[in-house]
Amino acid sequence: MMSVAKDSASEKRDTGTLGKLMVLLDLVTHAEGPMRFTDILAVADQPRGTLHRQLSHLVEEGLLEIDADGRYSPGFRLLDLASRSWARNEFRLVSEPHLKALQGLTGETVHLGVLRGTAIIYLDKVEGQQPVRMYSQIGNASPVYCTGVGKAALSILPRERVEALVADIVFHRFTANTHTAASLLAEIEDIRKQGYAFDREEHEVGIRCVAAPIWSENLSLVGGVSVTGPAYRLTMERLSEWSGPIQETAKRIMEAMRIGLGPRR
């Protein structure tokens, strides 16, 4: 737990009080379990008194909670904020009918995700008819380099931007098929040409997917849509057959974005 938190806190930010509070929220919410004050102090790079005041503010606002043993965990107010953000997200709303249609066609789980830094954030998920346990949950982040949506999203960005993002990634080998920096860059070039991406059990053993990119005209929104399922059912031949429907779904979502989320007068 502490190694992940320490990596997050080590990034220096000259963002004032709000930025420091957000760093603390990141630490506690991304930890594997509740954190004691001493745990946070060890990685937060702040004076003890300042840290105590900031944690107290977050507790008072309901963004963090503290239990009887003095351990901090995410507060219920975060759930309320997250649920309201999800319910009102216009991109998700215009995409929803197309995700359901794709799930109806394939019978498998469909994901909608957006690129944030070096991660993919899942905005929506339509469960398959035969759901299989996967790491993905709405609001969760997954590494961009070993997910179909992530690689599809990267294929839309200019090469220099992709190279800069890849340079910031700490590659963790989740499976024997997980990419290295060199193999990722090579595959992204292939994805640019074909218009879709595969996840060949790169994040989870036994899970495969096919994905297509989604983007806005100015690249302020870049993400993708995917069909995901167990490898014993989703052969590479089957995924290749779905490359056309998933690209068509991505085009329909982008058209719905253009109409529904375009400039308002």
Based on the fold, state whether residues 250 and 152 are members of the same structural domain: yes
Tell me the one-letter amino acid at 168.
D
pLDDT tens-digit map of 5-26: 434 444 444 456 777 888 888 8
Residue predicted with more confidence, 2 or 138: 138
Query: Residues 107, 219: one domain?
Result: yes
What does the pLDDT read at residue 80?
62
Q: Which of 53, 80, 107 is the last residue of a domain?
A: 80
More confident call, 129 vs 214: 214
pLDDT of residue 149: 96
User: Which of 45, 80, 115 is the C-terminal boundary of a domain?
Assistant: 80
Looking at the structure, tell me whether residues 46 and 103 fall in a common domain.
no
Residue 133 — very low, low, confident or very high, per pLDDT cuts 50/70/90? Answer: low
pLDDT value of residue 5 = 40
Q: Do 66 and 185 have their domain in common?
A: no
| Angle formed at CA 122 by CA 258 and CA 162, multiple of 5 degrees | 75
Answer whether residue 112 shows pLDDT above 60. yes
Residue 81 has a pLDDT of 64
Residue 235 in any domain: the answer is yes
Q: Are residues 192 and 140 part of one domain?
A: yes
Q: How far is CA 110 from CA 31, 116, 211, 253, in A?
A: 27, 19, 9, 14
User: How many domains would you assign to the chain?
Assistant: 2
- Residue 186, pLDDT score: 96
- Band of the pLDDT at 260, cuts 50, 70, 90? low
Are 107 and 180 within one domain? yes
Mean pLDDT rounded to a whole number for the chain: 85
Q: For 48-106, write each residue's pLDDT tens digit.
A: 888 889 888 888 888 888 988 899 988 877 766 666 655 556 788 889 999 999 999 99
Would you call 123 helix, strand, or coil by DSSP? Answer: strand
Q: Look at residue 2 in the predicted model and tell me its pLDDT.
A: 38
Owning domain of residue 43:
2-80
Confirm whether 265 is domain-assigned. Answer: no
Shared domain check, 157 and 54: no
Is residue 52 domain-resident?
A: yes
Pick from 45, 40, 39: nearest CA to 12: 45
Could you tell me if residue 206 is inside a domain?
Answer: yes
